[in-house]
A and B are shown apart, each in its own frame.
Chain A
Amino acid sequence: MQMRLDPAADPDDLARSLADAGPSRSLWQDAWLRLRRNKAAVASGLVLAFFALVAIFGPSLAPNRYDEVFPQYVRVPASLEAYPRAERIVPEFESVLARARVEVGEITLEGGTISAPIVTDRGIDPRFVRFVERSNLFTHARIVDVSADETRATMVADVQRTYFFFGTDAIGRDLFARTMIGVRISLAIGLLASLTALVIGVTYGAVAGFLGGRIDGVMMRFVDILYSLPFIFFVILLVVFFGGNFVLMFLAVGAIEWLDMARIVRGQTISLKRQEFVQAAEALGVKPGGIVRRHIVPNTLGPVVVYLTLLVPKVILLESFLSFLGLGVQEPLTSLGVLISEGAANMQGATWMLIFPAVTLIVILFALNFLGDGLRDALDPRDR
Chain B
Amino acid sequence: MNAMTDDPVLTVRGLEVAFETNDGTIEAVRGIDLDVRRGETVAIVGESGSGKSQSMMAAMGLLASNGRARGTAVYRGRELVGMRERDLNRIRGDKITMIFQEPMTSLDPLYRIGRQLAEPMMHHRGLSRRAAREKAIALLDRVGIPDPQRRIDAYPHELSGGQRQRVMIAMALSNDPDLLIADEPTTALDVTVQAQILTLLADLQRERGMAIVFITHDLGIVRRFASRVYVMRRGEVVESGDTHTVFAAPRHPYTRMLIDAEPTGEKAPPPADAPMALSGERVRVSFDIGGGFLKGPPVVLKAVDDVTLRLRKGQTIGIVGESGSGKSTLGRALLKLLPCEGRVVFMGRDISGATKQDMRPLRKELQLVFQDPFGSLSPRMTIGQIVTEGLLVHEPGLSAKDREQRAAEALREVGLDPAMRNRYPHEFSGGQRQRIAIARAVILKPHVVVLDEPTSALDRSVQKQIVALLRDIQARYGMAYLFISHDLAVVRAMADYVMVMQAGRVVEEGDTGAIFERPASDYTRSLMHAAFALTDFHEEARRVAQGG
Q: Which residues of A are in contact with B by a Cβ distance under 8 Å?
A: 1-5, 9, 14, 17-18, 20-22, 24-27, 30, 33-34, 275-277, 279-287, 290, 294-295, 298-299, 301, 384
Contacts and interface: CB of A to CB of B under 8 A. Distances in A.
A-B pairs with lowest CB-CB distance, top 10: A285-B363, A276-B376, A298-B380, A283-B368, A276-B375, A277-B378, A24-B423, A285-B360, A284-B390, A276-B370
Contact of B389 (A5, A276, A284, A298): A284
B426 interface: yes
Interface stretch (B98-106, B171-179, B183-191, B404-412): B404-412
Contacts of A18: 404-405, 408, 418-419
B394 A285 contact: yes
B417 A17 contact: yes
Contact of A4 (B375, B412, B442, B443): B412
A281 B367 CA distance: 10
B437 A280 contact: yes
B415 A5 contact: yes
Interface in B328-363: 335, 337, 359-363
Given A27-B380, A384-B426, A3 B337 contact: no
B372 interface: yes
B409 A294 contact: no
A363 to B, nearest CB: 31
A277 B377 contact: yes
Contact of B406 (A3, A25, A280): A3
Contacts of B366: 283
25 contacts: A2-B409, A3-B409, A3-B442, A4-B409, A14-B408, A14-B412, A14-B418, A17-B418, A18-B408, A18-B419, A24-B382, A24-B427, A26-B380, A276-B371, A276-B375, A276-B376, A280-B440, A284-B390, A286-B389, A286-B393, A290-B392, A294-B381, A299-B378, A301-B380, A384-B426
Contacts of B420: 21-22
A47 B47 CA distance: 48
A17 B423 contact: no
A34 B21 CA distance: 10
Contacts of B404: 18
A283 B393 CA distance: 11
A281 B409 contact: no
A199 B544 CA distance: 58
B298 to A, nearest CB: 15
B422 interface: yes
Nearest to B357: A287
B373 to A, nearest CB: 9
Given A5-B412, A27-B380, A277-B376, A284 B363 contact: yes
A377 to B, nearest CB: 13
A20 B443 CA distance: 22
B494 to A, nearest CB: 20
B412 A282 contact: no
For chain B, which range describes its interface: under 10, 10 to 19, 20 to 34, or 35 or more residues? Answer: 35 or more
Contacts of A9: 412
B48 to A, nearest CB: 16
B339 to A, nearest CB: 13
Interface of B: 22, 335, 337, 359-364, 366-368, 370-372, 375-382, 389-390, 392-394, 404-406, 408-410, 412-413, 415, 417-424, 426-427, 437, 440, 442-445
A282 B337 CA distance: 8
Contacts of A384: 426
Contacts of B363: 283-285
B335 A287 contact: no
Among A5, A26, A30, A285, the one with the most B-chain Cβ atoms within 10 Å of its Cβ is A285
Contacts of B422: 21-22, 24
Given A18-B404, A286-B389, A276 B409 contact: no
Contacts of A2: 409
Contact of A21 (B390, B410, B419): B419
B370 A279 contact: yes
Given A20-B419, A27-B380, A285 B412 contact: no
Given A5-B412, A284-B440, A294-B378, A22 B423 contact: yes
B424 A25 contact: yes
Contact of A3 (B362, B380, B410, B423): B410
A285 B419 CA distance: 27
A279 B440 CA distance: 13
A235 B370 CA distance: 51
Nearest to B382: A24
A26 B424 contact: yes
A27 B426 CA distance: 8
Among A34, A277, A279, the one with the most B-chain Cβ atoms within 10 Å of its Cβ is A277
A279 B337 contact: yes
A283 B413 CA distance: 21
Contacts of A280: 368, 370, 376-377, 437, 440
A275 B376 CA distance: 7
B419 A17 contact: yes
Nearest to A283: B368
Nearest to A284: B390
B389 A4 contact: no
B380 A285 contact: no
Nearest to A19: B419
A33 B389 contact: no
B292 to A, nearest CB: 11
B44 to A, nearest CB: 25
Contacts of B375: 275-277
Contacts of A298: 378, 380-381
Given A14-B408, A18-B404, A285-B393, 10 more contacts: A17-B417, A20-B419, A27-B379, A279-B370, A280-B370, A281-B389, A284-B389, A284-B393, A284-B440, A294-B378
B383 to A, nearest CB: 10
A290 B422 CA distance: 21
A48 to B, nearest CB: 25
Among B22, B337, B372, B392, the one with the most A-chain Cβ atoms within 10 Å of its Cβ is B22
